[in-house]
Chain A
Amino acid sequence: MIRLLEARAISKYFGGLTALSEVSLTINKGEVYGLIGPNGAGKTTLFNVLTGAYVPDEGEFVFDGTELPTGKPHRVVEQGIARTFQNIRLFRDMTALENVMAGHHIRTRATIWGILTQNRRTREEERLTTERAFELLRYVGIERFARTVSKNLSYGDQRRLEIARALATEPRLLALDEPAAGMNATETGRLRELIERIRSDGTTVLLIEHDVKLVMGLCDRIAVLDFGKKIAEDVPAEVQRNPAVIEAYLGGGHHAQ
């Protein structure tokens, strides 16, 4: 097992509210790691802290041996962590292809001067970016919509496009925030195939999801958050049996004992 990401005692407070309380977890290279918990447990907050949108009040992330910069989203992406959003956030007025091409931004180097003169290096980089974007659209299965403006895509295809855009940043860890939300059974099935493929192609996946069937079937290990605390971290079968998890999900019937 090679450690890819390690969260060390991450805490985050919003005023008097403790959104995350000393959450530590370890994600290994090549696995699909699930993050579940009731609504408001702090899953998305953890995502936001990890990807630099928020600065943690305590603790740090170690990614592939180096500490992640806090509060600098673009540096985190550069290190190799990409994310999607719970409520889809595409670039509405750009085509599907351009969305993915924009995702490649961090891996390209063209300067103002190169762009102005359209020198060979800039053109070659641009050609590769376009080519790579087509490949990624094919990879997620929506290449026929390359020229479609993204706001006109169907819901499921928008989710796929968002994943393609995240993959365009060439991540080593792909963080998906409820990718199956709002999908029907068929779409969820295809999403599951896609995530499995992403994993087998060498990208580690961190998955927040409410669809229990999907999480249990897909994840190698699962962490459960409740009220900002990690209450379990184990393989799916063990997590399902864990009394603390059952209590968190089904309510405090056990408190009386």
Chain B
Amino acid sequence: MNELAELVPYLGKHKPRAARALVILLALVAPLIAIMFGRTWVRVLDFALLYMMLALGLNLVVGYAGLLDLGYIAFYAVGAYTWAFLASPHFAEAFPALAAGLGAADGIHLPFWLVLPVGAALAAMAGIILGFPVLRLRGDYLAIVTLGFGEIVRIFMNNLNYPVNITNGPQGINLLDSMNLFGWDLARSIKLWGVKIDSLFFYYYFFLLCVVGSILFIQRLQISRIGRAWAAMRDDELAAKAIGINIRNMKLLAFALGATFGGVAGGLFGAFQGFVSPESFSLMESIAVLVMVVFGGMGNIAGAIAGALILTALPEILRHIALPIQQALFGQVLLDPEVLRMLLYSLAMILMMLLRPGGLIPAHARYSRPEFIAAGEARA
């Protein structure tokens, strides 16, 4: 978890251990602080963690492998809709006769440890389906095709209620099962020694666990032969071919693995939200995640985390400040908070390009194990 130290300016450079401890501590107590300002803020933190997973996954594709993907949210959608189909009453409502015949009169309700892997696998498959036709594309061309892919998936979700009702169309699917960890329903608040513990806390720590798992996995990938192959491919595709890297496989692997993170995050989103509809997976969402990665610093775990946290929290903070201020100043609301959010994103990007083109935390990613390097230098 060395990258976490980079999240703390100054201290991270000089006392990485202290910085890391600080980050972990903050991550653990964050919801306790947030709840003092109201439940909304814990909810915002929960969403920030989901976006972190998305940003980490997209960073794999864009930051490490250098493949610009503007349709990443499609994988999030695949994960979310998998959850919606396999863990909700929808199946029974859409196919009552079939459901009754199969003994699933109240819909399919599979446990999370089955639905999440299925969602991840379907998302990975979607990643490969996207990957094959774009193998030879680069830069702008790749961006356009991935953008189209994202829209295709959203339009599918919007229209797959006929002739067979799979996604329930624009109305979306309701009453999704919440996250149930072997009998422990995360959506239910618990009273412990007279203190009510909000369900949002449970989700927070569960999501946190998922983010930590993602970080560990990605970090290990980065310092492996695969991480180096991606970096090589990104820096110079021709040279990467010349040292024997199988470009096709490495690209498909990047798309598939990146999509896997999106699929898992999507499933978590479905369980957390209890409702999915196509409008959650618009192009703007893809762009938002991409902005998080670029704003935080491409090719960098800490960057993706910082970008996701800041760009999820800031608009919410702004929303709470901007409305009262506008009311006080003009007596009415002139700028809708949603408009402000887009303004803020654009402003963040422009400022970043001018002042810090490498992102908030510029990547100085390493692709080898520090202890082995030290050993090599000691021998020399």
Contact = CB atoms under 8 A, between A and B. Distances in A.
A78 B232 CA distance: 17
30 contacts: A73-B241, A73-B242, A76-B244, A77-B244, A92-B235, A93-B235, A94-B231, A94-B232, A94-B235, A97-B376, A98-B366, A98-B368, A101-B228, A102-B229, A102-B243, A102-B245, A105-B228, A105-B243, A105-B244, A106-B244, A108-B225, A110-B225, A110-B226, A115-B225, A118-B220, A125-B225, A127-B372, A130-B368, A130-B373, A165-B243
Interface in A66-105: 73-74, 76-78, 82-83, 85, 89-95, 97-98, 101-105
Contact of B217 (A89, A116, A127, A129): A116
A87 B238 CA distance: 12
Given A98-B367, A106-B244, A146-B376, A112 B226 contact: yes
A24 B6 CA distance: 57
Given A74-B245, A166-B243, A97 B373 contact: yes
B89 to A, nearest CB: 36
Interface residues of B, number: 37
Interface in A102-139: 102-106, 108, 110, 112, 115-116, 118, 122, 125-127, 129-131, 133-134, 138
A106 B228 CA distance: 12
A53 B221 CA distance: 28
Q: Which 10 A-B pairs have the closest CB atoms?
A: A77-B244, A106-B244, A130-B372, A134-B376, A89-B239, A91-B235, A73-B241, A102-B228, A115-B224, A74-B244
Nearest to A128: B372
B380 interface: yes
B338 to A, nearest CB: 37
Contacts of A134: 376-377, 379-380
Contacts of A77: 242-244
Contacts of B356: none
Contacts of A112: 226, 253, 257
B1 to A, nearest CB: 14
A105 B245 contact: yes
User: Secondary structure at chain B's binding surface: helix, strand, loop or mixed?
Assistant: helix
Given A77-B244, A108-B225, A115-B226, A91 B368 contact: no
Contacts of B242: 51, 53, 73, 77, 82-83, 85, 89, 166
Nearest to B377: A146
B246 interface: yes
Interface in A204-225: none
B243 A169 contact: yes
A147 interface: yes
Contacts of B229: 102, 105
Interface size class of A (residues with CB under 8 A): 35 or more
Contact of B369 (A53, A95, A130): A130
A143 interface: yes
A170 to B, nearest CB: 10
A131 B378 CA distance: 11
B189 to A, nearest CB: 35
Contacts of B247: 74
B236 interface: yes
Nearest to A149: B364
A140 B247 CA distance: 28
A131 to B, nearest CB: 6
Interface in A159-185: 165-166, 168-169
Given A129-B225, A146-B377, A90 B239 contact: yes
Contacts of B377: 134, 146
B366 A74 contact: no
A130 B218 CA distance: 20
A170 B170 CA distance: 57
Interface string B196-229: 0000000000000000000001001101111011
Tell me which of A82, A83, A129, A168 has the highest count of chain B C-beta atoms within 10 A of its own C-beta. Answer: A129
A159 to B, nearest CB: 14
Contacts of B223: 126
Tell me which of A74, A101, A130 has the highest count of chain B C-beta atoms within 10 A of its own C-beta. Answer: A74
A93 B373 CA distance: 17
Tell me which of A73, A83, A143 has the highest count of chain B C-beta atoms within 10 A of its own C-beta. Answer: A73
Contacts of A89: 236, 238-239, 242
Interface string A3-45: 0000000000000000000000000000000000000000000
A146 B228 CA distance: 15
A53 to B, nearest CB: 7
Given A101-B228, A146-B377, 10 more contacts: A82-B242, A85-B239, A93-B231, A93-B235, A97-B373, A102-B240, A102-B245, A105-B229, A108-B225, A166-B242
A110 B376 CA distance: 21
A94 B228 contact: yes
Contacts of A133: 376
Nearest to B249: A74
A126 B369 contact: yes
A92 B239 CA distance: 11
Contacts of B221: 115
Contact of B243 (A98, A103, A138): A103
A61 B257 CA distance: 37
Given A105-B225, A130-B368, A130-B372, A74 B246 contact: yes
Contact of B220 (A74, A116, A143): A116
Nearest to A112: B226
Nearest to A134: B376
